[in-house]
Amino acid sequence: MADWKNSLYTYGYLLTNDGQKALQRIPELSGWKQYRTRGYQLFVFPAQKAFIVETDVRSFLLVGHAYQPFSMTSDETSILEHLASLEFGSTEYYDYLDRVSGVFFFAVIDDESVTATCDCAGMLGANYAVIDGKKCFSAYSQLIADIYDLKEDPYVTKLKRSRLFHWYGWYLPGDLTPYEDVKRIIPNTEVRIGNTAAIKRIYPREEYSEARGKAYEERLGEICSVMNNSLKLTADKWADPAISLTGGTDSKTTLACAKGLQDRFSYFSYVSLPREETDALAARKICTALGLKHKIYNIDTNPADHPDFREVSALLERHYAFLGKANTNDICKRIDLKKEFEYDVEVKSWVAEVARASRYKKYGKKSFPKKIRPRYLTSMYKIFALNRGDALRTDKKFKEYLEKTGLRSAIENTGYPWTEFFVWEIVFGGWGGLALTGEHMLTNEITVPYNNRALLDLMLRTPLEKRIDDQLQKDIMNHMDERIEKLGIHVVNGNETKRRDLLERIYYNINNLLPW
C-alpha cells in the first residue's frame, strides 16, 4: 500500500509574503523545498521543480517544467534568462512567452508588485489572493483557504448542489474558485498585484485571419515542425517518457508527430471502464502496426480491494476544493498507477481540443454570432433547466469575466472565434487544471506538448471547416506519418451519444432565447 501522507497538494507550490503563518497552519509545508526572493517565500512540493533568475530590479520565477520548441531550448533557467533580457512587458517579451510549452506557474517579482501567469491553458493550477494585505499564489485554492480559514462562497455552495452540476465537470464560471477571496488566473492573462490587483489580457493581440491555399500548406508545415520539436525536447528532458495513447484523434496526432522519435517513447493505455477497453485495444492495434510496444494497465475498480481507497478519495476531494467527489474508477486508477506506473513522465494530448472547433461540433453549428454574450457562455457551461435563478446569477459571473479579463474587447478588436476561448479558458483552464494537477499528477509527472500559445494560434488560424471536420488533424497525420491515418482506426468519445448531443443542442438554443 502506497504512503499517501506525503501526497497532500501534490506537485503544488505556495508563493507568499506570509510564510510564517502558512507554516503555522500547514505543517506539511515544512517538508517542502523552500526559496526566498525579494521578500517572498516560495514553498515547492518535494517532487516539483522551481527555477529563479534574479536581476538588479526583478526576480523571474518558474515552478514546474518548460521548454521552447521554436528555439529548441529545453532548459528552464535559459528560458528565464532570455525573458529577463527582454524589455519587461514588451511585444518581444510576450512573443517569447507565447512560444513556451510546459506545465508551469510563472511570476515576475519587483520591489512593488508580483506579476503572475499560468502556462498556456492553466494545466498547473494557478490561484491568487490578497488577504489582510498578504499576497498568496498557489496551485490549489484549498491550500490558501486552509491557511486563512476561508468559508465557501454561498453562490458556489448553491451551484454545486444543483442536480446537473457535475455533468460537465467540476469547474466554476469565470475566474471563480470555491472561495470568494481566492481567484483563478485565467489563461491568456496575467495578474499584477501591488497595492491592488489588476488583470491584463496578453492574448490575442493581432487581428484574426485564416490561412488558405498555399498559406495553409505552409501553416501545416509549421504546426508539424513545432510538435515534432516539442516531442524531441521531451525525449531529451526525460529519460523514459511515455505517450498516453488511445484510438482518438488527439493522441494519434501526437504519435504521428513523433516521427523519427517513436523509438524514444514508450506507449500505454489504461482500462478502468468498459469504454476505455475500446480505446486501449485501438491503441494496441496502432502500435502493433507500427512495430511499437504498448502496455495496458488493467485497473482493479473494486474499492474493497484497496485498503487506502477512503484515504485517496478524501485526498482528491480536498484537491478539488470540495467541489465534488472523484469517481470510483478514477480513485482506483490513481491507487493502481501509483504502484505500477514505470515511466518518468506521461505525455498527454490535452489542450489540442481548443483548436478543434469542439463547440461547433457539439451544437451542430457552422457559425456562431460574432458578438459574445454572457448567456451564450452560461448555456455552454451547465444545464439550468429549472433553477433559473442560478442561470441569471451565472450570467452575471460570466459578464464579470468578459469585462474583467478583457475578453469581450479582445474578440471585438481581433475577430477571433470566441467559442474557442470558452474551451480554452473556462473548460481547460478551470476543469483541466484541477484534474491534471490535483488528480492525474497524484500518480506521475505529466507534460502536454499542445500546451503552447503560439502553437494553438497556428492551429486556430486554419480554415474553420477543416477544424470542424478534423481535417487539420488528418492532414497533420498524413504529413508526418501517413501510416496512422491509413489504418482507419478511430474511437469516438464514449460520453458522446446522438441522444445526448440532440438534447444538449435543444437546450443550448432554447436557453439562449430565454430572458430569465
**CATH code of residue 147:** 3.60.20.10
If asked whether residues 229 and 331 sit together in one domain, one would say: yes
Does residue 494 surpass a pLDDT of 70? no
How far, in whole angstroms, is CA 66 from its chain's centroid? 14
Q: Is the pLDDT of residue 168 over 90?
A: no
Pair (191, 275) in one structural domain: no
Same domain, 230 and 320: yes
How far apart, in whole angstroms, are the C-alpha atoms of residue 192 and residue 186?
13
Same domain, 105 and 36: yes
CA distances to 108, 254, 347, 441 from 448, in Å: 23, 10, 6, 12
Number of domains composing the chain: 2
Shared-domain flag, residues 181 and 61: yes
Q: Which of the residue ranges 3-7, 31-35, 124-128, 285-289 would you say has the lowest mean pLDDT?
A: 3-7
Mean pLDDT throughout 307-327?
A: 96
The arithmetic mean of pLDDT across residues 14-20, rounded, is 97
Instruction: Please say which residue of 201, 236, 270 terminates a domain.
Output: 201
Domain identity same for 195 and 243: no
Q: What is the pLDDT of residue 3?
A: 82
Cα(167)–Cα(164) distance, rounded to whole angstroms?
Answer: 5
pTM to 2 decimal places = 0.97
Provide the domain limits for residue 243: 214-354+444-452+465-501
- The CA distance from 29 to 343, in Å, is 27
Looking at residue 164, its pLDDT comes to 86
Measured between alpha carbons, how far is 89 from 96 in angstroms, rounded to an integer?
11
Do 286 and 346 fall within a single domain? yes
Q: Within a domain: residue 36?
A: yes
Question: Are residues 249 and 188 both part of a single domain?
Answer: no
pLDDT score recorded for residue 253: 98
Mean pLDDT of the residues in the chain = 96
Provide the pLDDT for residue 214: 97
135 plus 248 within the same structural domain? no
Which spans in 86-213 are helix H? 91-98, 141-148, 154-160
Looking at residue 328, what is its pLDDT? 97
Distance of CA 176 to the CA centre of its chain: 16
Cell output for 510: 432554447
196, pLDDT greater than 90: no
CATH number at 269 reads 3.40.50
Q: Which of the four pLDDT bands, split at 50, 70 and 90, describes residue 166?
A: confident
Residues constituting the chain: 516
Q: Are residues 45 and 122 in the same domain?
A: yes
Residue 487 lies inside a defined structural domain of this protein: yes
**Residue 65: per-residue pLDDT:** 98
Q: pLDDT-based confidence at 496, cuts 50/70/90? A: low
Q: What percent of the chain has pLDDT over 90?
A: 92
Pair (344, 317) in one structural domain:
yes
Burial of 327 (0-12, 13-18, 19+ CB in 10 A): middle
